[in-house]
A and B are shown apart, each in its own frame.
Chain A
Amino acid sequence: MIAHEKLSDIVGAANVSCERTTLDEYSRDMSFVNTVRPACVVKPRNAADIKQLVKLANEILTPLVPVSSGSPHFRGDTVPSIGGAVIVDLSKMKRIIKVDRPRRVAIVEPGVTFGELIPTAEKEGLRLNMPLLPRKSKAVIGSLLEREPVIMPKYQWDISDPLACLEVIFGTGDEFRTGQAAGPGTVEEQWAVGGVQKAPYGPGIASWHRLIQGAQGTMGIVTWASMRCEILPSLEEPFVVGSSNPNTLLELAYWLIRLRMVNECFILNNTNLAAIFAKKWPDDYQDIKAALPAWTLFYTAAGYEYFPEERVSAYVKNISDITQRLGVEAAKAVGGVSANEILKAVQRPSEEPYWKLRYKGGCEDIFFLTINDKLGVLIEAMNDLAIKFGYPVIDMGVYIQPIVQGTGCHCEFNLFYDPGNPGELNRVRKLSISAVKALMAKGAFFSRPYGESARMILNRDAATVAVLKKFKKIFDPNNVMNPGKVCF
């Protein structure tokens, strides 16, 4: 058991809490993982605090569970898997360390949220390639480390984007900087000569950031990270295309991304689009949903510093050749939702309450990666399962996000449910577990395994797990970093 005094010595008494109500907040989340109350919650102020905490955890073999975003959490990764854990809540580390316009990069501490970074970046003429409508409390670094899909696939050259470099305290207590940040010299010395922490690869032949991403805090705790930013357009023309067939929209998205003509580009079904834009519940939601086509593709053509109107106009003409060939039509609004309204919304975090919680108060996400060709089959399979489990298909949200410049797509099913209704909750829980199994059998790739299904997902790839375990032994030999997560 970790001693309260020792923690207080490190982070200060005001930043340690063992209050039952506080502990309860961290003992569960919106997912279906078991409730496990931590022993303590600490809020480090800086990297030095974190380093000492990790060293202490190794001395007394106490699990640490890093948490960067505020509640509500959805994936189970911030809930301890075993008792006696110390939650390392990074929300006090809120510095926006640097935003550099010419190099298109921002550096932040783990507690910085999208809502905090976006205005600072915009002042410098930059924007973030961000996930779709993250909740207000979502930390930027949390999103980067989770490899969340981003809404501008054109600028996602690699699946690790937009993460650039990071500083991590490994489970051993050693500090390490990845990519260009590794050195030579300190970060400040690099700045002095004009360097920024941008290039992600290295040092050496490894790309160390890839080991930290997707690890759910099992390798170490990140103390800051840099991310590549994009230039704020001087002109944006958003469009929507409705269709009853997602494959047609996927084909259109494929060409838009391949020819690099659009920035934001994603597909939502009518349930999700209505859930995002309904103002008055439930009437407004039902009306919008009824007026929307089954599927909507949203995209934006943009112009930058030079002749933006001419750029957008050339793209709009070229896109119209493609839409005509596919028999669909680009429009400025669909079912009463305007393209401008969507653009404005998706460039910010979600308004409160978080859009996934507005309908019923709870939401279980099932998400995976796949190739374009398989998507139709996987959606059908999910629909069949929903029917089998008595979940209304029309209530299921679907979000399709092309990734990495068109090399595949992220598909997400959002199962909205009432957490106060045990029957509904239980149904969604069972459906979720069965869906992961069934979709995997049909070729869905669950690259980000969370919660109850993680073991099942990882068991399919024993060779990868064997290598990952070797790495875990190196970077966290005492297994103090978030034990029980991923395959550790």
Chain B
Amino acid sequence: MALSKEVYKEFEDVVGEENICDDPAIMPAYFATEFAAVILPKDTAKVQAIVKLCNKHKLKFRAISTGWTGVFPKNTILLDLRRMNRIIEINEKNMYAVVEPYVISAELQAELFKRGLNFCIKGAGSNCSAMLRGHGHLDQTTSADDRNHLAIEWVTPEGEIVRLGSLGSSDEWFCGDGPGPSLRAIISSAVPPGVTPGVFTKAAIKLYHWPGPSKLPVVGKSPRYTLREIPANMMARYYSFPSVEKMWQAELKIGESEIAYELMGFNASMVASNITTCNEEEEEVFRRISQEVQGPGFFVIIAGNSPEDFAYKKKVLEKIVSDADGKSLKSVEDPEIEGILLCQCVRISASIRETFRAGGAFNSIPIMGQRDLTIKWAIGAGEAKKPLIKKGLIVDDGGAFFGWGVEQGHLGKTEIFCRFDPLNPEAKKAVEEWRKEQCARAVNERYFADLLMAKIDESGPSLSNYHLWWRKIVKELDPNSVSPEGGPLV
């Protein structure tokens, strides 16, 4: 349904004719849906004006930042926030940065490195919005999920501007909670600006110390970059263990000892993906590494703030690994391979190779929360992958899963996926069934309830009926139902 000329003109008056489009030949370039219009606001005031107009005309809208994924009902007005791309502030003294939605992580990280700082880049990759909620390789030291946001500027579904926490009271970005109960309770969509109704227009995010150089000494050519040298007081290794139990014990101790800058529970297949440049090479390297590793493992980056700190952390790491009968993967001790992994895992450019390259598509079950519990479940989910591998329906990764500790092991993330050919309907169906079965088992055996793909009404009853409360909240916030649900946005 195209907008009437009069309504289109009202939106055009807000953003100018060059920043609105309803051309049916152009709009599908965004997503495979029929949008009513695509609008590109420049700032919060424009977003507010658009949202008010949407309410006036009862038009559904949805905003995207970097726009990798998303679900959009037909006739939605798409707010493409790409013009809102400013780093507003980097506050070194109070360890936060304020960004607009289209600031990408790579851009912010480059600026932060110059100041000896870093932040949590989500696993979706460094080209995605810096203000995302989510998990990533650096969670061990940079936290994750909804725990990195401070003050947020939010345009509600009715078009009111709410400035959370200290921003609303004292015009400072350092705190997102209060006065009184915290609105961060709901301003925490799976991936802002995602399923929380409304639009996030600015967010302050927590920063963390970066002990590495202001610029990584990257050499090589795409797709094979490495580091000219391993930065001082840094080291990357991959360790494998005789059993999941031994691996978990080592991971637990590393978390408790606070020694790892990054602990990423790659499996051998993911290591192979990351250090190779094509599928043929990956297959060969995976075969070789699979022979070399003794079982499950993880990748670790140690980074010291000083030579003494580095020496101490290295010594503890070696002790923990040795106590758990761990074995270092020789390939990763090669400085070139160490450099590739260190670079990719700090810059968070690893995920695409791991997920899309070999099969063309992947279907994943990510679980946030308690690491040992989710590992326990993932062992079964991995076993359930093996028949699919045997039938040739998914890429052979040995039935592996992966994950990592968050906040020095206080919390965790575990994930398992199947890579498959999206043009093979049998493979697609088999993977979907695997997913469904494993998620059902997770609920039945009391591990967790899938929230990524399941509809809120399906997961809600097993989770304190949260869906009923959430619906009430949404109804209060969005009385005109102009801000639709529709899964996470990246």
Contact = CB atoms under 8 A, between A and B. Distances in A.
Interface of A: 102-104, 147, 157-160, 175-178, 180, 182-185, 189-190, 192-196, 198-199, 201-216, 218-219, 228, 231, 254, 258-261, 304-307, 310-311, 313-315, 317-318, 369-374, 404-408, 440, 443-449, 457-458, 460-461, 463-464, 466-468, 470-471, 473-475, 486-487
A305 B411 contact: no
Contact of A446 (B163, B179, B185, B470): B179
B410 A408 contact: no
Interface of B: 91, 93-96, 143, 145-147, 150, 156, 160-166, 168-172, 174-186, 188-190, 194-196, 206, 208-209, 252-253, 256-258, 305-306, 308-309, 311-312, 315-316, 319-320, 368-370, 372-373, 376, 407, 410-411, 442-449, 451, 456, 459-460, 462-467, 469-470, 472-473, 476-477
8 contacts: A180-B369, A183-B446, A193-B376, A205-B196, A210-B177, A306-B257, A307-B316, A405-B95
B462 A183 contact: yes
- For the complex of A and B, list the 7 residue pairs with the smallest distance between their C-beta atoms, beginning with the closest: A447-B178, A199-B369, A210-B185, A203-B463, A314-B308, A461-B168, A185-B446
Contacts of A214: 177-182
B189 to A, nearest CB: 5
Contact of A184 (B143, B182, B189, B446): B446
Given A160-B182, A206-B470, A210-B181, A461 B256 contact: no
A314 B179 contact: no
A470 B477 contact: yes
Contacts of B166: 369, 408, 445, 447
B175 A445 contact: yes
A205 B189 contact: yes
A103 B405 CA distance: 12
Nearest to A470: B476
A190 B169 CA distance: 41
A182 B177 CA distance: 23
Contacts of A315: 309
A461 B169 contact: yes
Contact of B188 (A195, A201, A228): A201
A176 B469 contact: yes
B470 to A, nearest CB: 6
Given A184-B462, A470-B476, A449 B179 contact: yes
A407 B179 contact: no
Nearest to B151: A445
Given A211-B182, A473-B476, A203 B93 contact: no
Nearest to B176: A159
A219 B463 contact: no
A147 B181 CA distance: 10
Contacts of B177: 147, 159-160, 210, 213-214, 447
B45 to A, nearest CB: 15
B95 A407 contact: yes
Most buried by B among A219, A314, A317, A318: A314
B373 A193 contact: yes
A204 B487 CA distance: 11
A474 B475 CA distance: 10
A218 B194 CA distance: 29
A486 B181 contact: yes
A158 B165 contact: no
B470 A204 contact: yes
B179 A471 contact: no
B376 A158 contact: no
Contacts of B188: 201, 205-207
A371 B308 contact: no
B476 A471 contact: yes
Contacts of A475: 469
A226 B258 CA distance: 23
Given A307-B319, A406-B95, A458-B180, 19 more contacts: A102-B252, A159-B182, A199-B370, A204-B456, A205-B189, A206-B186, A208-B466, A213-B177, A305-B256, A305-B257, A307-B312, A318-B306, A369-B166, A445-B169, A445-B178, A461-B179, A467-B477, A471-B473, A474-B476
Given A157-B407, A447-B165, A474-B473, A458 B179 contact: yes
Contacts of B208: 405
B170 A443 contact: yes
Contacts of A189: 446
Contacts of A207: 146, 184-185, 188
Nearest to B375: A194
Contacts of B466: 176, 182, 202-204, 206, 208
A201 B146 contact: yes
Nearest to A229: B410
Nearest to B449: A184
A407 B165 CA distance: 13
Contact of A407 (B150, B180, B182): B150
Contact of B165 (A102, A204, A445): A445
A486 B467 CA distance: 27
Contacts of A210: 177, 181-185
Output the residue of B91, B169, B407 with the most chain A CB within 10 A.
B169
B179 A180 contact: no
A448 B258 contact: no
A473 B189 CA distance: 22
B407 A464 contact: no
Given A314-B306, A440-B170, A473-B476, A373 B93 contact: yes
Nearest to B93: A372
A158 to B, nearest CB: 4
Interface centre among A103, A206, A214, A370 (most CB of B within 10 A): A206
A213 B182 CA distance: 7
Given A406-B94, A463-B168, A448 B160 contact: no
Contact of B171 (A260, A443, A446): A443
Contacts of A199: 368-370, 411
A467 B476 CA distance: 9
A474 B472 contact: yes
Contacts of B156: 467
